[in-house]
Structure formats: C-alpha cells, structure tokens
Amino acid sequence: MINLDILNIENEKVNQIEVDSSVFDTEIKDHLLYDVVRYQLNKKRKGTSSTKNRAAVAGSGIKPWRQKGTGRARAGSRKSPLWVGGGIVFGPHPRSYEHKLNKKVLIDALRSAISMRKNEGNLLILEDFSLEQPKTQEIAKIFKKLGIEGKCLMVVDKEEHAVITLTARNLSNIKIIDSAGLNVYDILLHEKLLFFRSVVKKVEERLKR
C-alpha cells in the first residue's frame, strides 16, 4: 500500500489516500503497453477497403479476338488484370483487424500506464467538488490552478459527476472518461491523468491483484 496526496480545487494538499501499490506503483512493462495500444487501434479499424477481382468486374467473358493471325498479343478475357478496367489481383477485401488479447494482459498494461503517470508526477487526485451550474469558465479556472495546460484525461463517475462532465466537455485539451472505460491508449495519449477521489477505489477494485 502507498499514500497519494489529495488536492483541492485551489491546488492545495488537503489529505492523503491509501491505495494498492499493485495498481498505482507497479513495474512498468513497456512491451505490454505496446501490445495493448496495437490491440486497441486494430479494434478501431474499419477494414472496409474493397476491390473487385476478375470474377466481379463488369464485362463479357468472351475471348476478344481469335488466338492467332491478328498480329496482336494473345488475350482470353477483357477482365484480365492486365487490361484497364480489369480485375485487381490480391486486392483488399472487407475484413476485421481485431485480434485476441488475454484479459490479464489488458489489466497488467493498465496498471503499468497508471503507475507510469504516477512516477512522472502526472497523476493527480482531486477532492470531489460540485458546480451549481455548468459554466465552462469556472472549471477552466480550476484546471489552470492545478497547472493543467496540456492534454489531460479526467476519470469520473458520469452519474455522480454529471454537471462537471457537462461543463468540462467544451475544453479541447480535456477528455472525460468514465472509470469503467479507463484504458491504456487514452492514458498514454494524454500528458496528465486526473482522478476524482471517489473514483480511485472503483479503479482499484477493478485492477488490484
């Protein structure tokens, strides 16, 4: 177990929280991060590229001219890949790029990504707060006080933090994600990782050994 600082919206340390070191301070395994990012990106690929082979292109299957005596090269079909408008040889067809990955690998990679942000000093735990109205300017001021200027991934409970989610979604450098959807690719894509205090234990329960 390790202790992490909890900050308020004024960027002041107000408390500490005890968390499982197997989730927040584990060995960083770069090869798992690579495998999981590749898995996630392949899963997103559409795989809709398609070409027609000589059986699928339009046109007659009749031999265009006789075999001998014309002075021209031998030809058996107007659909030949050698002809303009003919079929494509070994062209792409609709397919899925998704591949299987062990669930333990996904969890271990997620632990590594969180621990990496913690070791960099880019893991922030924020005391829960509420906003009366969804005003983007107010939450932008809070992020400025916290020193968040680059890309930040904010992990929330979308039901519990509905107003904050609505308020922060207009900020181009902030991505809001529900704790259940926390993933390696988004963590690596954003410079800072921000947890609300109430979300930390949910993530810990999901990932602890």
Q: Where are the domains of the chain?
A: 2-45+100-207, 46-96
**Amino acid, res. 85:** G
Q: Name residue 10's amino acid.
A: E
Question: What pLDDT band is residue 24 in, cutting at 50, 70 and 90?
Answer: very high
47 by DSSP, 3-state: which? coil
pLDDT more than 70, % of the chain: 100
CATH 3.40.1370.10 fits 2-45+100-207, yes or no: yes
In this structure, of 41-45, 78-82, 168-172, 177-181, the range with the lowest mean pLDDT score is 168-172
Closest CA to 129 of 154, 103, 163, 96: 163
Q: What 3-state DSSP class applies to 41?
A: helix
pTM of the model: 0.83
Q: pLDDT of 109-165, one tens digit each?
A: 999 999 999 999 999 999 988 887 778 888 899 899 998 989 999 999 888 888 888
Percent pLDDT > 90 in the chain is 70
Burial class (CB within 10 angstroms; exposed 0-12, middle 13-18, buried 19+) of 147: exposed
* pLDDT for the residue 105: 95
Q: Considering only CA atoms, which of 160, 164, 191, 189 is closest in space to residue 176? A: 164
Judged against a pLDDT cut of 90, whether residue 79 lies above it is answered with yes
The Cα-based distances of 192 to 119, 141, 187 in angstroms read: 12, 17, 8
Q: Report the distance separating Cα 125 and Cα 17, nearest Å.
A: 9
Reading the block at residue 176, the tokens are 């809001």
Provide the pLDDT confidence category of residue 73 given band limits of 50, 70 and 90.
Answer: very high
Residue 32 reports pLDDT greater than 90? yes
pLDDT at 162: 85
DSSP assignment string, 133-152: S--HHHHHHHHHHTT--S-E
